[in-house]
């Protein structure tokens, strides 16, 4: 069995689909393709899943078997590994399945310097992995003796990463700000509160007791209900919910209302625009970003560049354009001048700093930044060929777009990983959005049925 890369590394059921044998082979392949054998080092981190130590050992063995010195960072957020790789100019790897349930796990890889892999890198990795799994290099010479790679614990980079986040607000403080933090029983559990307290914030922490099985379980950025209640109960100024590997965060205002990634990016874009710190007055988002965000940016003269779904595509666009700020509705936010990838804790500190400087509640700031249009999402499962279903719907999609005009938006796309057609409608009126979405869902189901039966 082999692996194929998705939009954020490889994932599967740990010890079933993602076996230690396969992960060991992936480490060997990555040692070659990511040039780790020449650089001589790699940094590896993991989240709190029960299968983490098992797969960490396998991945480390794969790298070490190719002569690479492995430095284990332990349980740390994904962006910590990216930062360490960037600071030291070495490749990095993370054992994590992000917001997935604990039974899943995955491997995310960074090229030397903490850079996300390109599509070409991933294709080379897949080909090399397939070659190793087939045993095509079984008789090739392997490092031995003093050339065998070492595996050791390394703690220094974690402290330097935390220092970089504290330093990101140029000596300002968060004194007087009360924050509730939901760590999702994940990788940031031991790191979020210390950083925020160093900056002077008053911090209450929930879901910070990982047991290997409770990561993301009814908590964190995908389940913020507990955080919303805790913010109100504690009379806090701000709530912050991370996902399992802490590369993303969503916020909660003083009234317990959710502030998603679109609103966070809007707040930060406007703040940087007003301080003349937003390069080319441009921000990068994905096709899923709310129409209200686009209208708000247009009202302020801020340009919006759009990419396909996936923070890697946002990052690629930022680097092509030389811009600083971008992200996704899910809470992946990239401050390219401060980090090489999305960092939930860095984003959290930026939000908190903005609140202190503004001197106004988050709820009022978010409401002024943008108005979220009602957004209706449906996943239509089809037997096969989701792309053909989307093609069949083209005429209807065009008609619905004309009916909605400039104050509405339609997105119908085939999933890249599942036999699913994704339907998204935005409109100023919720009933209008739901009616249009229902019409498109019915059309997708009918087209899928026709294609499955072979009817013209």
| Active site amino acids | 98
Angle at 290 between CA 432 and CA 5, to 5 degrees: 120
Burial of 455 (0-12, 13-18, 19+ CB in 10 A): exposed
CA distances from 151 to 41, 113, 244, 269 (A): 10, 20, 25, 42
DSSP class of 331: S
Residues 6+ apart with CB under 8 A from 141: none
379 vs 423: CA distance, rounded Å = 6
| Residue 75: closest CA among 219, 321, 200, 246 | 246
What sign has the CA pseudo-torsion 98, 309, 36, 246?
Answer: negative
Which structure tokens are listed for 253? 């205002």
Name the packing angle between helices 344-358 and 78-88 (round to 10°).
Answer: 100
| Residue 208: closest CA among 229, 187, 185, 192 | 185
Which structure tokens are listed for 446? 């009918």
84 vs 219: CA distance, rounded Å = 28
Q: How far apart are the first and last CA of the chain?
A: 38
Burial of 76 (0-12, 13-18, 19+ CB in 10 A): buried
207 vs 216: CA distance, rounded Å = 9
* Residue recorded with tokens 């072979």: 454
CB atoms inside a 10 Å sphere around CB 268: 23
CB atoms inside a 10 Å sphere around CB 368: 13
What sign has the CA pseudo-torsion 159, 213, 332, 220?
Answer: negative
The strand order across the sheet containing 258-259 reads 202-206, 178-182, 238-242, 249-252, 258-259
CA distances from 196 to 201, 348, 454 (A): 6, 9, 60
259: β partners: 251
């Amino acid at each position: 069995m082999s692996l194929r890369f998705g939009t954020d590394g490889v994932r599967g059921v740990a010890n079933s689909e993602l076996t230690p044998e396969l992960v060991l082979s992936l480490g060997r392949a990555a040692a070659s393709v990511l040039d780790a054998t020449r650089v001589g080092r790699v940094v590896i981190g993991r989240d709190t899943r029960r299968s983490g130590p098992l797969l960490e050992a396998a991945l480390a063995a794969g790298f070490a078997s190719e002569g690479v010195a492995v430095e284990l960072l332990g349980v740390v957020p994904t962006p910590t590994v990216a930062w360490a790789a960037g600071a030291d100019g070495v490749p990095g790897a993370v054992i994590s399945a992000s917001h997935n349930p604990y039974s899943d796990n995955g491997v995310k890889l960074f090229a030397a310097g903490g850079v996300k892999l390109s599509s070409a890198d991933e294709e080379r990795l897949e080909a090399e992995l397939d070659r190793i799994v087939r045993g095509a290099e079984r008789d090739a010479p392997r490092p031995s003796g003093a050339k065998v790679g070492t595996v050791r614990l390394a703690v220094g980079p974690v402290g330097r990463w935390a220092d970089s986040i504290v330093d990101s607000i140029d000596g300002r403080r968060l004194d007087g700000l009360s924050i509730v933090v939901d760590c999702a029983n994940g990788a940031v559990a031991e790191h979020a509160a210390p950083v925020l307290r160093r900056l002077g914030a008053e911090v209450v922490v929930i879901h910070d007791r990982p047991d290997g099985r409770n990561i993301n379980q009814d908590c964190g950025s995908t389940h913020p209900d507990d955080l919303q209640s805790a913010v109100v109960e504690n009379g806090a100024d701000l709530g912050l919910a991370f996902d399992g590997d802490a590369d993303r965060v969503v916020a909660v205002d003083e009234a317990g209302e959710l502030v998603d990634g679109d609103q966070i990016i809007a707040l930060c874009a406007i703040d940087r625009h007003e301080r003349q710190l937003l390069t080319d007055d441009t921000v990068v988002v994905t096709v899923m970003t709310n129409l209200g965000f686009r209208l708000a940016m247009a009202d302020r003269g801020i340009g919006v560049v759009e990419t396909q779904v996936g923070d890697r595509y946002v990052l690629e666009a930022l680097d092509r354009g030389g811009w600083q700020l971008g992200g996704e509705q899910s809470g992946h936010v990239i401050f390219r001048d401060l980090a090489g990838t999305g960092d939930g804790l860095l984003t959290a500190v930026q939000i908190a700093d903005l609140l202190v400087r503004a001197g106004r509640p988050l709820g009022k700031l978010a409401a002024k930044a943008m108005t979220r249009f009602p957004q209706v999402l449906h996943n239509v499962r089809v037997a096969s060929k989701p792309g053909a279903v989307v093609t069949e719907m083209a005429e209807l999609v065009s008609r619905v777009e004309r009916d909605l005009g400039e104050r509405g938006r339609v997105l119908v796309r085939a999933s890249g990983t599942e036999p699913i057609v994704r339907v998204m409608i935005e409109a100023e009126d919720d009933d209008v959005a739901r009616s249009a979405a229902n019409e498109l869902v019915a059309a997708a189901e009918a087209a899928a049925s026709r294609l499955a039966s072979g009817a013209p």
